[in-house]
Chain A
Amino acid sequence: MNRDRVTAILMLTPSVILLAIFVYGFIAWTGYTSVTDSNLRQQLRGETAEVVGLKNYEDLFTGLLNKRFRVDMTNTVFFTILFIVACLGVGILLAILLDQKIKGESVFRTIFLFPMALSFVVTGVAWKWLFNPTSGINVLPTVIGLPAGQFQWFISEDRWLPFNWHDLGFYIALILLGMALLFTLWQWSKKRSQWAAFGAALTLLLLAWVTLGDPRSITPIREDGHGFNVALIALVVAAGWQMSGYTMAMYLAGLRGISEDLREAARVDGCSELQVYRRIIFPLLQPITLSAMIILGHISLKIFDLAYTMGGGNNLFIDMPGINMFFTTFRASEFGRGAAIAVIMLIMVAVVIVPYLYTQLRSETHL
Chain B
Amino acid sequence: MSTTVSPSQSVPAQTAAAPLSGVRVSRALIYAALVIFAALFLIPVYMVLVTSFKSIDQVSISTMWNLPTSFTLESFQRALEKLLPNLINSLLLVVPATVLSAALGSMNGYVLSKWRFRGANIIFPLMLFGMFIPYQAILIPLVQFLQTIGLYGSIGGLILVHVVYGLPITTLIFRNYYAEVPDEMIEAGAIDGAGFFGLYWWVVLPISLPGFVVVIIWQFTQIWNEFLFGVTITNTASQPITVALQNLSGSQIVEWNVQMAGAFLTALPTLLVYILLGRYFIRGLLAGSVKG
Contact of B64 (CB < 8 Å), options: A135, A330, A357 = A135
**Are B51 and A129 neighbours in the complex by a CB distance under 8 Å?**
yes
Indicate whether A94 sits within 8 Å of B290 (C-beta atoms), given known contacts A126-B44, A361-B124.
Answer: no
**Are B130 and A23 neighbours in the complex by a CB distance under 8 Å?**
yes
Bitwise, A209-239 to B at CB < 8 A (1) or not (0) is 0000000000000000000000000000000
Q: A28 CB to closest chain B CB, in angstroms?
A: 9
Judged by a CB distance under 8 angstroms, whether B148 is at the interface is: no
**Are B115 and A298 neighbours in the complex by a CB distance under 8 Å?**
no
Indicate whether A7 sits within 8 Å of B197 (C-beta atoms), given known contacts A30-B137, A33-B140.
Answer: yes
| Chain B positions 42-56 with a Cβ under 8 Å from a chain A Cβ | 42-44, 47-48, 51
Contact of B30 (CB < 8 Å), options: A22, A102, A339 = A102
Residues of A within 8 A of B9 (CB): 101
**Are A357 and B129 neighbours in the complex by a CB distance under 8 Å?**
yes
Judged by a CB distance under 8 angstroms, whether B281 is at the interface is: yes
Q: Is the interface of B mostly helix, strand, loop or mixed?
A: helix
CA distance A120 to B132 in the complex (A): 17
Judged by a CB distance under 8 angstroms, whether A11 is at the interface is: yes
Judged by a CB distance under 8 angstroms, whether B282 is at the interface is: yes
Judged by a CB distance under 8 angstroms, whether A200 is at the interface is: no
CA distance A126 to B48 in the complex (A): 6
**Are A100 and B30 neighbours in the complex by a CB distance under 8 Å?**
yes
| Chain A positions 50-87 with a Cβ under 8 Å from a chain B Cβ | none
Indicate whether A23 sits within 8 Å of B116 (C-beta atoms), given known contacts A114-B271, A128-B249.
Answer: no
**Are B140 and A29 neighbours in the complex by a CB distance under 8 Å?**
yes
**Are A136 and B64 neighbours in the complex by a CB distance under 8 Å?**
yes
Bitwise, A235-267 to B at CB < 8 A (1) or not (0) is 000000100001001100100110010001001
Residues of B within 8 A of A253 (CB): 286
Residues of A within 8 A of B11 (CB): 101
Judged by a CB distance under 8 angstroms, whether B13 is at the interface is: yes
Residues of A within 8 A of B21 (CB): none
Indicate whether A341 sits within 8 Å of B136 (C-beta atoms), given known contacts A18-B164, A120-B225, A360-B291.
Answer: yes
Output the nearest chain B residue to A287 by Cβ-Cβ distance: B291
Contact of A345 (CB < 8 Å), options: B47, B136, B231, B271 = B136
Judged by a CB distance under 8 angstroms, whether B34 is at the interface is: yes
Indicate whether A119 sits within 8 Å of B140 (C-beta atoms), given known contacts A135-B64, A357-B129.
Answer: no
Judged by a CB distance under 8 angstroms, whether A35 is at the interface is: no
Q: Which of A168-176, A189-197, A277-285, A305-313 contacts B (4 or more CB under 8 A)?
A: A305-313
Contact of B140 (CB < 8 Å), options: A15, A19, A30, A98 = A30
| Chain A positions 8-58 with a Cβ under 8 Å from a chain B Cβ | 8-9, 11-12, 14-16, 18-19, 22-27, 29-30, 33
Interface size on A, residues (CB 8 A): 107
Bitwise, A95-111 to B at CB < 8 A (1) or not (0) is 00110111100001011
**Are A8 and B125 neighbours in the complex by a CB distance under 8 Å?**
no
Judged by a CB distance under 8 angstroms, whether A146 is at the interface is: no
**Are B271 and A19 neighbours in the complex by a CB distance under 8 Å?**
no
Q: A263 CB to closest chain B CB, in angstroms?
A: 9
Contact of A117 (CB < 8 Å), options: B61, B128, B273 = B273
Judged by a CB distance under 8 angstroms, whether B111 is at the interface is: yes
Residues of A within 8 A of B285 (CB): 116, 246, 249
Judged by a CB distance under 8 angstroms, whether A317 is at the interface is: no
Contact of A94 (CB < 8 Å), options: B37, B43, B132, B282 = B37
Residues of B within 8 A of A139 (CB): 61-62, 64-65
Judged by a CB distance under 8 angstroms, whether B188 is at the interface is: no
| Chain B positions 35-75 with a Cβ under 8 Å from a chain A Cβ | 37-38, 41-44, 47-48, 51, 61-62, 64-65
Judged by a CB distance under 8 angstroms, whether B185 is at the interface is: no
CA distance A121 to B61 in the complex (A): 23
Bitwise, B126-150 to A at CB < 8 A (1) or not (0) is 1111101111111111100100000
Indicate whether A103 sits within 8 Å of B221 (C-beta atoms), given known contacts A8-B111, A8-B117, A342-B136.
Answer: no
Bitwise, A301-322 to B at CB < 8 A (1) or not (0) is 1101100110010000000001
Output the nearest chain A residue to B260 by Cβ-Cβ distance: A129
**Are B142 and A118 neighbours in the complex by a CB distance under 8 Å?**
no
Bitwise, A110-145 to B at CB < 8 A (1) or not (0) is 111111111111111111111000111101100100
**Further 8 A-B residue pairs, CB within 8 A, beyond A7-B195, A264-B12:** A22-B130, A23-B133, A101-B5, A102-B30, A114-B275, A117-B270, A121-B266, A295-B288
A: residues with CB less than 8 A from B are 1, 3-5, 7-9, 11-12, 14-16, 18-19, 22-27, 29-30, 33, 90, 94, 97-98, 100-103, 108, 110-130, 134-137, 139-140, 143, 241, 246, 249-250, 253, 256-257, 260, 264, 267-268, 272, 291-292, 295, 298, 301-302, 304-305, 308-309, 312, 322, 325-326, 329-330, 335, 338-339, 341-343, 345-346, 349-350, 353-354, 356-358, 360-361, 366-367
Closest 4 A/B residue pairs (Cβ) = A119-B225, A302-B134, A8-B115, A117-B274
